Structure 1
Amino acid sequence: MKELVNILDGNTFLVSDRRGDIEPSLEFPTGLFSFDTRFLSTWLLTVDGERLHALSVDDATSFRTRYFLVPGEPTHYLDARVSVIRSRAVGGSFTEDLRVLNHSGEEMRFTVRVEIGADFADLFEIKNVRPKRGRTTTEVGQSELRFTYRREGFHRATIVSTSEPGAVDASGITFTLTIDAHDEWTTRLHVATVIYGAQGEDIRAILPLGGSRSPAAIEAEQNELVARAPKLGCDCEPLAGAYRRSLNDLTALRYESISLGVRLMAAGLPWFMTLFGRDSIFTSLQILPFLPDLIPPTVTVLAGLQGYRIDDFRDEEPGKILHELRYGETAGFEEQPHSPYYGAADSTPLFVVLLDEYERWTGDADLVRKLEAPTRAALTWIDSYGDLLGTGYVWYRTRNPQTGLENQCWKDSWDGISYADGRLPGFPRATCELQGYAYDAKLRGARLARQFWGDPAYADRLEQEAAALKLRFNRDFWLPEKGYYALALDADGTPVDALTSNIGHLLWSGIVEESRAGRIAEHLLGPRLFSGWGVRTLADDQGRYNPIGYHVGTIWPFDNSLIAWGLARYGFREEAGRICEALLTASRYFHGRLPEAFAGYERSLTDYPVQYPTACSPQAWSAGTPLLLLRVLLGLQPQGEHLIIDPFVPDGMGRVELLDIPGRWGRVDALGRSRPEHRRPGGH
């Protein structure tokens, strides 16, 4: 697999190879992207016609990178007379300082060329190539190269300028250099990404929170956000490293909405740098004990974009919370339904769960009262449009068979839901975790109604509905011969009997009968599901199992964090600790940054976690995973005006100390300690 380098600042991100080059590629989607459009598709550096080779890459920060390069291919003998340093940063725009160093004892002449191209591809067009329907023009200036794309009202531009003279042509800039002995030459290349509005105005320039930002401004904002988070002191280096990396990634993934004027959490790079209902809610739940002030913008925007009509194209229904919001060309011209798209059956109950959990932590009753109407609408959706068959369960089936998602649960790939023998059920489908989320939402909605909305009758009804759902679910989904809950019910009410990680979400929601929780814990930590690195999405003896299949055998850190939370809820603290240990140890092999997913191979087989080839990294709910694991280890639970602290730290992990945990109680400290006689995770 080709190794890529990412830098990002929320709205803008750049993906290149390890030389810093960008080339159009289906296999490796490199480029400069902003708001779902690729503004640079070619950015290729040569010296005297030769490609460069990377000696080292400094990518310690999310928004700034340096590449140390020499011409030619690497050999066992290197005596380069010239080297090149590319120092780049993003912040709305993209800047690259290009430095050429002459290491010889005599004057040298060089021809430095930067090939430049802009295809203005929509992210969906990169995945599914098709001809552009608009028109691209190129304008060559004395020190500037401008690419412009127009398709009716969709208008984008890429403007490349240089601080030093060069020969600008339609496909790049050439610099003819004479550099004295042991001297150097430098230029600054600046790339502006322009998004034009309906009146021809540059949208980026009038964003409420500012368009282009300097590296210093980005760094200051990130440092300020990290400084607000609790301080971690621990003996476990993998935990310390993952915590630091997660906070940095979470700050980098915040982006500014074009139309809403607030900073939101993007789901992940490179494919999901936008608002996702499910991802944003789960990430918010993970980070709530650490950065609670990031939650209100997300909850408020999701409420503001809540469905209010029947729209088959967008899978929209009254009360439904969105799945995905896009800004690109295909969404603008309704070639994709993502403006926004509502094809998720779980985001709506999860919205209620998040609002209640947020109030439990912060005591922000004003937000709960402000969002009473959308929360009631979400609860109504569960029993109306969500219950397609009138059976008391949440089902899904897309209204848009052309471009809508087939699977509208978190395992949303085409084969993510299957029987044990590998067959795929028909539609509609009612997956088990959806029922758990609905159960939890009803109980939490009842609390909000009773305490904040002054409606005890509504609260009583929601509690009665929740109790009936739990009873019904434990009757219809339980597979007594297998000792676990079915993954789903098919349209005929027949259980879809695959053994999957979804049963861990049931523990988190609380819908599992106490007498059955032990069996669920045994399966989750048993050899069929637990690889040693985490819980697989699908057990290794099931028909569709594939250790590198997207939802059919890989290990998803976010999934495991919810499973650990659920195990702890039912008192299985040791089992939860095993999952924490596994993921934290795995994080060491990813330099502290847990990816979207990694392979489900046995730990004894690989000795290290194997990368999934197209995993997003960083990804928000993976970045949030170490934070939720830390909450599980310390047993943090809000109770009225107090924070309950009940630590259970696995043997050998040592001291775990979290200072200044924010909440309605002010700020408190938590300390946990394990027995020291065993080794800590990762051998530290």
Structure 2
Amino acid sequence: MKDRFSILDGNNFLVSDDRGNIQPSYDFPTGLFSFDTRFLSTWILTLDGQPLHALSIDDSLSYKTRFFLVPGEPTHYLDSKVSVIRSRAIGGSLDEELTLLNHADQETEFRLRMEIGSDFADLLEIKNQREKGGHTTPTVEPNALRLTYRRQAFHRETVVTSSTPAEIDENGMTFRVRVGPHGEWTTRLNVDTVIYGARGEDVRAILPLGGRRTAADIAAEQTELIGHAPKLGCDCEPLAGAYRRSLNDLAALRYESIALGVRLLAAGLPWFMTLFGRDSIFTSLQVLPFLPEMVKPTIVMLAGLQGSRVDDFRDEEPGKILHELRYGESAGFEEQPHSPYYGAADTTPLFVILLDEYERWTGDAELVRRLEHETRAALTWLDTYGDLLGTGYVWYMSRNPETGLPNQCWKDSPDAISYADGRTPEFPRATCELQGYAYDAKLRGARMARIHWNDPAYADRLEREAAALKERFNRDFWIPDREYYALALDPRGRQVDALTSNIGHLLWSGIVEESRAPAVAAHLLGPRLFSGWGVRTLADDQGRYNPVGYHVGTVWPFDNSIIAWGLWRYGFRHEAGRICDALLSASHYFDGRLPEVFAGYARSLTDYPVEYPTACSPQAWSAGTPLLLLRVILGLEPQGDHLIIDPAVPPGMGRVELLDIPGRWGRVDALGRSREPHEEQPSPPALTLPGG
């Protein structure tokens, strides 16, 4: 049985233990959260002073959970004369129904107690274990417990009410009830969260739905969204299960932005229930062939918050695309630079890539024309603020060493960028995939300039710059005796020579010379990087390798989906299929929901993928991974007003049929079928690892 359970409606989410309880915790954020603030940190149910234990839990829906509980230790379950059902749903507020069932043949008196408290912790404070600057005041009202937090103009409240009379004190509610033989008693608790604005109003009132959606509203909205997605029919149960789960999770992760009042995708539960530039862009690329209506709001939001000045505190620069947007106390009081924070070097070229890919799929040329200024500014950033050393590469180094992220690529943990022997380079750093993204962004910018902005001279210039970058990159990053690209360059231009999954992103970008692509593919599918469940972030013979290290040996589903896409781009369909098959096999062990990350142990060592203890789940770009894998399997690629379909279904997968794929062509169907071993088929080209 899982030890943590969550429900969410995008703007609000709750994480509890397997009994439905919330207890103060800083190692993993349990609680009721809304817009980066924890409104409940204590929510503990007891019966006659005893804790309750779970018999069964129904968490099949993202916004509802039901716990079936009995008192006493598990060995006493068969003797229990009473049970409790906790049924909760979230939708703007939290509603929890408590049903007590008396299984005895005589009337019995019970004392049901709910301990209630809130620390109003900022999510970033929980993650970094920082002290709060304000104070909380509990107030007992006739039928409510009101918890109020104030710090100057920062004002939040939690209001708990009950449908039946209760003894209310500053720490909770007590119900003393008599239940007849084989009878039941029910009460409904409502937890209302209030985010006060400068004028004393609940700021969520400005949202299109007022931030208050019922469970029925959520169900209807999710059903409608999923109904727009293409219909999958296939013989592969892991693929079918992962596809269904991904659509459900992506629908659940949408939230209403306070800034623009549009629906956006949150990056992941529990730490990242907000807009992340990198995560949002990659997820948008993954879902584009399936739910293109989810993508446009993200593009518009990122363009609207594009950097316009130099701000060392926020790592902001003109033309730069944000990394992270937060709404909590620490951001509001500028204790953290996340309002928004721009500490990412990859979001800016990725923004250009996404805009072009969106137009190629949807035909929405009007958006490309409308965002011409922002796109040009992003491309200009690559050659100005992005090129810190004037070498023609994109580098990164935080403007604020006190609060800024040291690593500003997707592998942003402190030890993620290293030499093969484990040493870490100085700053600034130019990681290899950043150059690939810049190359792709310039080519895509040239396409938009020529077709949509009527500026062929600018298009020609961008194409010349891209060609020069590709030549320069293949000269400076390639390690001839090892036949792979360096992870990065250090400030002196020396190669940071670790073997990593980043080289797969290079294939996706197209910056790899054709003659070198086979060696890159061989490394990606070789035993040093490929665990059997997926490509590791760091090869297993490198100095910092750790199969449970966040970016130094684990397997990231999103990373693998981009690698598979890159292999497909260079014609390595068999190798791309191996990654697709491995990840879909792994998803089966996670009930169809690929987590943010899992351990990099070899498949020969473990019969199942090993969980990473603090991985986000659900997480947007992991939820998007099965969709991109499906695109790779079916070989979907837009070309003008047509969709190219060139399937290469991995052996054993059988039939894969995707109906009503949306795009500028209207809706089309795609069908592929794997060739089984007994059928005649061409053998895939052999890949030999360099040196062997």
Does the pair score TM above 0.5?
yes
AA partner of residue 636 (structure 1): L
> 1:342, 1:316 → 2: CA distance?
5
Aligned pairs for 1:212-361 (under 5 A) are 212-361=212-361
Distance 2:209 2:394 in 1: 39
What is aligned with 1:682? none
1:420 alignment partner in structure 2: 420
Specify the SS of the correspondent of 1:113: strand
Letter in 2 for 1:385: Y
Q: Secondary structure at the match of 1:27?
A: coil
Q: Match of 1:10? A: 10
Equivalence for 1:546: 546
SS of 1:78's equivalent? helix
CA distance in 2, matches of 1:52, 1:586: 34
- In 2, distance between residues paired with 1:678 and 1:242? 28
Offset of residue 373 of structure 1: 0.3
**d(CA) in 1 for partners of 2:604, 2:211:** 49
What is the match of residue 494 of structure 2? 494
CA deviation string 1:335-355 (max 9, x = no partner): 000000000000000000000
Taking the TM superposition and a 5 Å limit, the aligned residue runs for 1:519-534 are: 519-534=519-534
> Residue type matched to 1:674 in 2?
S
* Rounded Cα–Cα distance in structure 2 between residues aligned with 1:651 and 1:353: 32
Cα distance per residue 1:117-137 (max 9 Å; x no partner)? 010000111122233211211
SS across alignment from 1:289: coil
CA-to-partner distance for each residue in 1:83-102, whole Å, 9 max, x for gaps? 00000011111110010000
Q: Please give the alpha-carbon distance, in whole angstroms, between the structure 1 residues aligned to 2:337 and 2:542.
A: 34
**Structure 1: which 4+ aligned runs deviate by more than 6 Å?**
none
The amino acid across from 1:107 in the alignment is: E
- Mapping 1:433-448, distance limit 5 Å: 433-448=433-448
Q: Is the 8 A contact 1:7 1:63 kept in 2?
A: yes
Q: In percent, how many aligned pairs have the same letter? A: 78
Cα contact 2:11–2:211 (8 A) shared by 1:
no
- Residues 651 and 678 in structure 1, CA contact (< 8 A), matched pair in contact too: no
- Counterpart CA distance in 1 for 2:130 and 2:297 is 36
Q: Is the 8 A contact 1:209 1:261 kept in 2?
A: no
Give 1:205 deviation, angstroms. 2.7
Q: CA deviation at 1:540?
A: 0.2
What is the rounded CA distance, in whole Å, between the counterparts of 1:568 and 1:131 in structure 2? 49
Aligned ranges for residues 374-453 of structure 1 at < 5 Å?
374-453=374-453
Counterpart contact for 1:652–1:678, Cα < 8 Å? no
Q: Residues 22-421 of structure 1: matches in 2 within 5 Å? A: 22-75=22-75, 78-421=78-421
Count of residues in Structure 1 that have an aligned counterpart in Structure 2: 679
Contact 1:18/1:54 (<8 A) preserved: yes
Contact preservation (8 Å) 1:599, 1:611: yes
Report if the CA contact (8 A) 2:211-2:256 is conserved. no
Give SS of 2:60's match.
coil
In structure 1, runs of 5+ residues without a counterpart are 680-684
* Residue number in structure 1 paired with 2:682: none
Q: Cα deviation per residue 1:142-188 (whole Å; 9 max; x = unaligned)?
A: 21000011111111000000000010000000000100001100000
Q: Which whole-Å CA distance do the structure 2 matches of 1:128 and 1:668 have between them?
A: 48
Q: Note the alpha carbon deviations across 1:43-65, whole angstroms, 9 max, x for none.
A: 00000000000001100000000
Distance 1:132 1:657 in 2: 53
Tell me if structure 2 keeps the 8 A contact 1:39–1:158: yes
Counterpart CA distance in 1 for 2:581 and 2:519 is 21
Return the letter of the residue paired with 1:189: L
Aligned partners of 1:142, 1:99: CA distance in 2, in Å? 23
- CA–CA separation in structure 1 for the residues paired with 2:158 and 2:451: 53
Match of 2:690 in 1: none
Partner of 1:569: 569
Letter in 2 for 1:131: E
CA contact (8 A) 1:323 1:342 kept: yes
CA distance in 1, matches of 2:298, 2:495: 35
SS in 1 for 2:331: helix
**Counterpart Cα distance in 1 of 2:335 and 2:2:** 31
SS at match of 2:69: strand
Is 2:7–2:64's contact at 8 Å kept on the other side of the alignment? yes
**Deviation for aligned residue 1:3:** 1.5
* Contact 1:209-1:262 within 8 A present in 2 as well: no
Asked if the contact 1:63–1:89 (Cα under 8 Å) also holds between the matched residues in 2, the reply is yes
**What's the CA shift string for 1:560-605, capped at 9, x where partnerless?**
0000000000000000000000000000000000000000000111
Report 1:469-618 matches (<5 A).
469-618=469-618
